[in-house]
Amino acid sequence: MNTTRRRLLVTALAAALAHSAPSLGAGSSSIPRVKRSVVALGTFQKTRSPAFAFRGTGFVVGDGTLVATNAHVLPGVLDAQKQEVLAVALPGADGGPATVRAGRTVAIDTAHDLALVKFEGTQLSALELGDSSSVHDGAELLFTGYPIGTVLGLFPATHRAMVSAISPIAIPGANAQQLDAKAIKRLSGKRYPIMQLDATAYPGNSGSPLYDPVTAKVVGILNMVLVKESRENVLSQPSGITYAIPVQPLVELLATVK
């Protein structure tokens, strides 16, 4: 093989490797950007120790003062007598302590278990919402949140997630005994696709953004409670499979907020 052909072959091989090597480093640039927009949700009570009680993950959207999360992450009741309030913990700079701000719920979509919370103070960088209809089986995505935040602290962690299946939110049981009220409601209502992920999420990851590792566009919202109630209610030991709600309902919910 002459020198010219060898040089061309090496150049072509290097280009092919560069084009096909998104696996290890593709998300490296998007992760820091996403982490700055991922927050913790909970309640704040000044006289309590700790004052901030963690409940789940959310991420900044819209005008930079709105947080998207799962509706089930929000507290059902606040203790007004003890001045307990809904709170958003913003990530600290350079791994420093989080900053807690008061928040209020501005929109809820119970069908998709989604909610929007508005927090007080200076806006943060909002994540861009993508198009979940373009997600396909085998797609490599990332999610960032606060797994077991009450134990590991409010330090956002990122995990890889391959889309292993896209299927309906609810599926019929093998017999009527496997149906409960929640499953019947989901089957009789409008069904929509959910993403089944080859990844492990933990308590606290509910509400985490599922996003493209290159563009950082959000395509889904992690949700364990809603999906498992619909699909795994017949299991005595629910699986460790992770699910995500597509981002389109969140886009529609965000459009309702003025």
- CATH class name, domain 30-119: mainly beta
Query: Cα separation of 148 and 54, whole Å?
Result: 9
Supply the pLDDT for residue 204: 92
CA distances from 112 to 109, 164, 192, 193, 253 (A): 6, 21, 9, 11, 10
Return the number of other C-beta atoms located less than 10 Å from residue 85's C-beta.
17
Residue 59: closest CA among 116, 130, 97: 116
> Helix/strand/coil (H, E, C) string of 16-43?
HHHHCCCCCCCCCCHHHHHHCCEEEEEE
The residue assigned the tokens 């003025």 is 258
Supply the pLDDT for residue 167: 82
Supply the pLDDT for residue 170: 53
Q: Where are the domains of the chain?
A: 30-119, 132-255
Dihedral sign for Cα atoms in the order 9, 12, 13, 14 = positive
Q: Name all contacts of 22-27 with Cβ < 8 Å and 24+ positions apart.
A: 22/140, 22/213, 22/214, 23/140, 26/140, 26/213, 26/214, 27/142, 27/158, 27/160, 27/213, 27/214
Supply the pLDDT for residue 224: 73
CATH fold match for the domains 30-119 and 132-255: yes
Q: pLDDT truncated to tens, each residue of the chain (258 aa)?
A: 555 555 544 444 344 434 433 444 555 679 999 999 999 999 999 999 999 999 999 999 999 999 999 999 999 999 999 999 999 999 877 767 789 999 999 999 998 999 999 999 999 999 999 999 889 999 999 999 999 887 777 889 999 999 999 987 654 444 444 445 555 454 445 667 899 999 888 889 999 999 999 999 999 999 976 655 554 444 444 456 789 999 999 999 999 997
* Burial of residue 207, with CB atoms counted within 10 A of its CB: 0-12 exposed, 13-18 middle, 19 or more buried: buried
* Burial of residue 186, with CB atoms counted within 10 A of its CB: 0-12 exposed, 13-18 middle, 19 or more buried: buried
User: Check: CATH 2.40.10.10 for 132-255?
Assistant: yes
